[in-house]
Chain A
Amino acid sequence: EAGVTQSPTHLIKTRGQQATLRCSPISGHTSVYWYQQALGLGLQFLLWYDEGEERNRGNFPPRFSGRQFPNYSSELNVNALELEDSALYLCASSARQFANSPLHFGNGTRLTVT
């Protein structure tokens, strides 16, 4: 089966611009999670979407937002980019109809803000 796919793999933006990152979950998975991983650091939880709705968000400012589409794919938007937003953004999906279904991660989008 195809894994979680993310696009683009690399994205370069300047400060103040907006970035849009995309994620396609594994077929049949309804939950999508977004994480931020700054260089050399751990994974910071950003957002959780399930069945098209935002279920929870981490401790990030409102300029980090997203949505989940009817086909369960998801989009992460980062407005008013700041230099410290440079990081690897990881998307994961899980089959929420099975409790404690493990997360399956994509290989991320490397966002560089200059």
Chain B
Amino acid sequence: LAKTTQPISMDSYEGQEVNITCSHNNIATNDYITWYQQFPSQGPRFIIQGYKTKVTNEVASLFIPADRKSSTLSLPRVSLSDTAVYYCLVGEAVYGGSQGNLIFGKGTKLSVKP
């Protein structure tokens, strides 16, 4: 199972770009990288997912280098409402297999200040 390492916390100001990096040195060939956002007392919410290179959607970008041993979530122009915990998840649910215990790391607590 690919273990992930993220910074425990990060501070930013409104309007800035925030980059959160996740290390996953033993990522497997079939593993995808998925990022989630969690607000207090709510379930995590899917942000973005990728396998390699760069993925962009309406809320974030995900950069994955060729060796896939790390990934960087990029949040453009953050606002106060982006204050949350961000989790990097690496793994897959193998159909018919014995895997699927998708392990979350400790997450990165992002605090956005005015």
| Contacts of A57-114 to chain B: CB distance below 8 A | 57-58, 88, 90-92, 94, 96-97, 99-108, 110
Q: Which of A55, A90, A101 contacts B43 (CB 8 A)?
A: A90
Q: Given contacts A96-B93, A100-B93, is CB(A42)–CB(B105) below 8 Å?
A: yes
Main secondary structure of the interface of B (DSSP, over half): loop
Number of interface residues of B (CB under 8 A): 26
Residues in B with CB closer than 8 Å to A18 are none
Q: Is B7 an interface residue (CB 8 A)?
A: no
Residues in A with CB closer than 8 Å to B43 are 4, 90-92, 105-108
Q: Given contacts A42-B107, A100-B93, is CB(A56)–CB(B45) below 8 Å?
A: no
- Chain B residues at the A interface, C-beta cutoff of 8 Å: 32, 34, 36, 41-46, 49, 87, 89, 92-95, 98-107
The 3 closest A-B pairs by CB, nearest first: A105-B43, A43-B104, A100-B32
